[in-house]
């Protein structure tokens, strides 16, 4: 069951002029979070902004093996992300969670391929830890606009995650979209069992889901829709789910997701 924690900011690490990682003292939530789950966040008591905003849990923080907090990876795009960017140690953030349906980790001999676009890196730190603990081989396909927007590369490398990078300006890794190295890898993985996990902009998620289907591999994607409450009350965050070959129905991504099987989503709706 989700809890609402008035979480103190432990530290705010600016990664660039847009991205930051905010560490929050919310051990109750952190300890209960499965990879891909999210929290609903609000700063201050006022009416601007009025509603909470959803964020994937980025890292689960531990000191001497004891869980003592979580972090959020944020990109400054709106009012709340600006407040998260500006937050200082000691500020208080209302944090409701953990919420939503998590990723399904696979076991060896299956390999796990995580595909991240931009701030869509967020759920993959915790997913990588869970997968590695099960002995599953993990590869991170990670794309951004430019090399300066690729973060935590050493964090993943140090834990034994293979990296395949792509930048739109060609400053690091493949020149172009992250789906190009993903397709090369899928084409060269004949006979291997692979599970594809994705998080990022919706066009990327669609491309990843279609690639996985083309190479007959299962995929799970984490969607981000405008969300009002995170608990199923408002019906705003719906995603079209396939009903047979032509139909679809709307499912609340806070309850039925945010993680869905890639072939469940009616991408053309």
Q: Which residues bind another protein (CB under 8 A)?
A: 1-2, 4, 42, 47-52, 96, 225-226, 228-229, 231-238, 240, 249-250, 255, 269
- Shortest reach from residue 59's CB to another protein, in Å: 26
CB of 240 to another protein, least distance (A): 8
Are the C-beta atoms of residues 229 and 194 closer than 8 Å to each other?
no
CB of 96 or CB of 196, closer to another protein = 96
Q: Identify the bridge partners of residue 113 per DSSP, sorted by sequence position.
A: 139, 196
CA 196 to chain centre: 13
Q: Considering the complex, state which of residue 105 and residue 258 has its C-beta at the smaller distance from another protein.
A: 258
Question: Where in the chain does DSSP place strands (E)?
Answer: 3-14, 19-24, 38-43, 53-56, 59-63, 66-75, 92-99, 111-117, 137-144, 162-167, 174-175, 194-199, 219-222, 238-243, 247-252, 259-261
CB under 8 Å to 66, separation ≥6 — which residues?
Answer: 27
- Smallest distance, Å, CB 47 to another protein? 4
> Considering beta carbons, is residue 49 or 176 the nearer one to another protein?
49
Minimum CB distance to another protein smaller for 125 or for 254? 254
| Nearest approach, Cβ of residue 232 and another protein (Å) | 4
């Amino acid at each position: 069951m989700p809890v609402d924690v008035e979480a103190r900011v432990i530290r705010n690490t600016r990664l660039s002029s847009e991205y930051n990682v905010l560490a929050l003292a919310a051990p109750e939530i952190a300890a209960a979070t499965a990879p891909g789950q999210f929290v609903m966040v609000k700063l201050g008591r006022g009416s601007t902004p009025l509603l909470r905003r959803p964020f994937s849990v980025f890292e689960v923080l531990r000191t001497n093996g004891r869980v003592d907090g979580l972090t959020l990876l944020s990109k400054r795009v709106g009012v709340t992300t600006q407040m998260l960017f500006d937050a200082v140690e000691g500020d208080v953030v209302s944090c409701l969670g953990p919420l939503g349906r998590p990723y399904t980790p696979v076991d060896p001999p299956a390999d796990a391929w995580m595909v991240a676009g931009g701030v869509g890196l967020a759920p993959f730190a915790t997913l990588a830890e869970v997968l590695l603990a099960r002995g599953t081989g993990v590869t991170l396909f990670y794309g951004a606009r430019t090399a300066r927007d690729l973060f935590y590369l050493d964090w993943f490398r140090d834990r034994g995650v293979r990296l395949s990078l792509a930048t739109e300006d060609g400053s690091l890794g493949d020149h172009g979209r992250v789906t190009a190295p993903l397709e090369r890898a899928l084409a060269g993985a004949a006979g291997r069992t692979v599970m594809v996990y994705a998080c990022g902009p919706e066009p990327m998620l669609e491309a990843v889901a279609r690639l996985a289907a083309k190479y007959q591999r299962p995929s799970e994607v984490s969607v981000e829709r405008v969300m009002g409450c995170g608990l199923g009350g408002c019906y705003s965050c719906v995603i079209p789910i396939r009903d047979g070959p032509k139909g679809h129905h709307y499912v609340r991504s806070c309850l039925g997701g945010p993680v869905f099987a890639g072939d469940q989503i009616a991408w053309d709706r």
